[in-house]
Amino acid sequence: MRVLYPTARRDKIQSMLKDVLATIESRKHQSLAQLIEFLKIPSVSTKPDHKPDMQRCATWVEDHLNFAGFSTQIVQTPGHPIVVAKNDHQAGRPTVLFYGHYDVQPPEPLELWTSPAFEPAIRDGAVYARGAVDDKGQVWAHLEAVTAWQAHGGLPVNLTLVIEGEEEIGSHNLEAFVAKNREQLKADVCVVSDTNQFARGVPAITYGLRGLVYEEVFLTAASHDLHSGLYGGAVPNSANVLCELLATLHTSDGKVNLPGFYDDVLELTPAERAEWKKLPYDESDVLAELGLSATSGEAGFSTLERRWARPTCDINGITSGYQGPGAKTVIPSKASAKISMRLVPNQDPKKIQAIFERTLRDRCLKNVKIEFENHGLAGPVRTPIEGAAVKLAMEAVEAGFGKKPALISSGGSIPVVELFKRVLGVDTLLVGFGLPDDRVHSPNEKFDLEALYAGTRTAAVLYEKLAALKP
């Protein structure tokens, strides 16, 4: 590709990078100790009790960026604060927007953790804690890298960092912030490290993410619970009705049974299917790791295709009736379920939400009240894989990990990626350092220390590489 900056400047930047990498190497232990401090803060965004921890965590991130020489700001929202930081933006340099999240998922079930979720522990070459890989550890890799750059004369690009506290609950307040600060957030490219490598030894750049519609459905039958002997058989049972409704969500060949659900689905191309077939994927390894005898899903698609390119509808939780030990003969008044639908290009979250609510309303017994609450909407994402930025990112990963990255997709969602594209017009590089067995959102979440260090090097090299982009 064309080198867009003068040779003298490039030589200077490359000699700075050597010092940056040396500093990163020499600071491994201190860096890990700082990450452990970050991980100790229980920044669980979904729980109201943790509101003070969210503020404390935002301040921790801000303090660090301040120390590294960024001008910083904590932006309050109706929810949790957003940390914004900038280095000295100079004309003629490309501008990079970094996004990460400091909030984490709830740690429950607590009894399944080998060591407590917010008391980080090092075992088998990994740090174990809630948020270790999602996303504090990956954010930390960037903070360490940019701090080293700042200590050696400053980053070679204009950098804006946005580190928010509501990703795990759908980034509800981010859109208003982004829309209001369009000018301030203008960038040539966005960088996010909140995804995975393909496998141990196979680092990756992710170019596809699924979208999300997360709905909770509430049924109310009689005004109160009833004796199942006295009333059973003569009144609607909210739990029975919920089960009947949920049982209509799929057809026997694994398709989602909502009219219009597949209307806008962009089908996989034969070329893409062929590319994915070449990835070093071993179904039996995955089955062993998951403790399953077989996978299941939509007929006619491989496991990777089902996870990366097909839309889904999954029950995430069901509640009704007596849940304590022993028996209680009761017809529950109320029943509810949480349901996530993962979307693929070009499905529209709002449209799918409407289809879901309308269909369940239609199918529900008429003497039972049905209500909905939305817990998240995110658009599906496909980032361009041609162009200078991806090529530079691939070089950075190769420098950091010592291996060429694979180009992969992922089944997860990161709402900001579609948001930045829609509101700022900027494409995101998804350069993730996690491993598939890191147990994100699950007990015993971990981040491999080798991945942490390789990720930190990758981040350091990436900012050097991106300096060659045309501003």
Question: Could you list the residues that contact ligand BES (CB under 6 A)?
Answer: 134-135, 167-168, 170, 194-196, 212, 376, 378, 410, 412-415, 440
Smaller CB distance to Mn ion: residue 62 or 134? 134
Rounded distance, CA 198 to CA 410, Å?
Answer: 9
Minimum separation from the CB atom of position 417 to ligand BES (A): 10
CA distance 70 to 76: 19
Inter-CA distances, 63 with 38, 57, 80, Å? 12, 10, 17
- Residue 196: which of Mn ion, ligand BES, none does it interact with, CB under 5 to 8 A by kind? ligand BES
Residue 305 and residue 267 in contact, taking contact as beta carbons nearer than 8 Å: no
For ligand BES, which is the closer residue by CB, 427 or 464? 427
Per DSSP bridges, beta strands 428-432 and 204-209 are antiparallel
Q: How far is the CB of 321 from ligand BES (least distance, A)?
A: 28
Task: Provide, rounded to whole angstroms, the least separation between the CB of residue 103 and Mn ion.
Answer: 9
**Residue 211's binding partner out of ligand BES, Mn ion, none, with CB under 5 to 8 Å set by partner kind:** none
Determine if the peptide bond prior to 109 is cis (ω within 30°): yes
Measured from the CB atom, the residue of 94 and 165 that comes closer to Mn ion is: 165
Q: Shortest Cβ distance from residue 8 to ligand BES (Å)?
A: 40
Half-sphere exposure in the Cβ direction for 91 (13 Å, CA): 0
61 contact choice in ligand BES, Mn ion, none (CB below 5 to 8 Å, kind-dependent):
none
Q: How far is the CB of 83 from ligand BES (least distance, A)?
A: 17
Q: Are strands 330-331 and 204-209 parallel, antiparallel or unpaired?
A: unpaired
Return the one option of Mn ion, ligand BES, none that residue 215 interacts with (CB less than 5 to 8 A, by type).
Answer: none
Q: Which does 415 bind (CB under 5 to 8 A by kind): ligand BES, Mn ion, none?
A: ligand BES
Quick one: 13 or 430, whose CB is closer to ligand BES? 430
Interatomic CA distance for residues 141 and 404, integer angstroms: 19
Q: Residue 410's binding partner, choosing from Mn ion, ligand BES, none, with beta-carbon cut-off 5 to 8 A by kind?
A: ligand BES
Amino acid symbol at 166: E
Give the number of other Cβ atoms within 10 Å of residue 384's Cβ.
Answer: 9
Three-class SS state of 272: helix
Q: Which residue has the tokens 């209680």?
A: 328
| Shorter beta-carbon distance to ligand BES: residue 174 or 460 | 174
Q: Minimum CB separation from ligand BES for residue 192, in Å?
A: 9
CB 145 within 8 A of CB 460: yes
Q: Which of ligand BES, Mn ion, none binds 236 (CB below 5-8 Å, type-dependent)? A: none
Return phi, psi of residue 229, to 5°: -85, -45
* CB of 94 or CB of 208, closer to ligand BES: 208
258 φ, ψ to 5°? -125, 125
Binding residues for Mn ion, rule: CB under 5 A, are 134-135, 194
Contact present, 467 and 94 (Cβ < 8 Å): yes
Record the tokens describing residue 454, joined without a space.
Answer: 């390789």
| DSSP, residue by residue, 410-424 | -S---HHHHHIIIII
The CB-of-436 to Mn ion minimum distance in angstroms stands at 14
Kindly state the smallest distance separating residue 434's Cβ from Mn ion, in Å: 9
42 binds, among Mn ion, ligand BES, none (CB under 5 to 8 A by kind): none
CA pair distance 303, 296, nearest whole angstrom: 8
CB of 410 to ligand BES, least distance (A): 4
What element of type H or E holds 148?
A: helix 137-151
Instruction: Look at residues 200, 281, 134, 139 and name the one whose alpha carbon lies nearest to residue 451.
Output: 200
Is the CB of 163 or the CB of 454 nearer to Mn ion?
163
Output 135 or 427, the one with its CB closest to ligand BES. 135
**Cβ closer to ligand BES: 171 or 333?**
171
When CB distances to ligand BES are compared, the closest residue is: 412
What is the rounded distance in angstroms from the CA atom of residue 273 to the CA atom of residue 275? 5
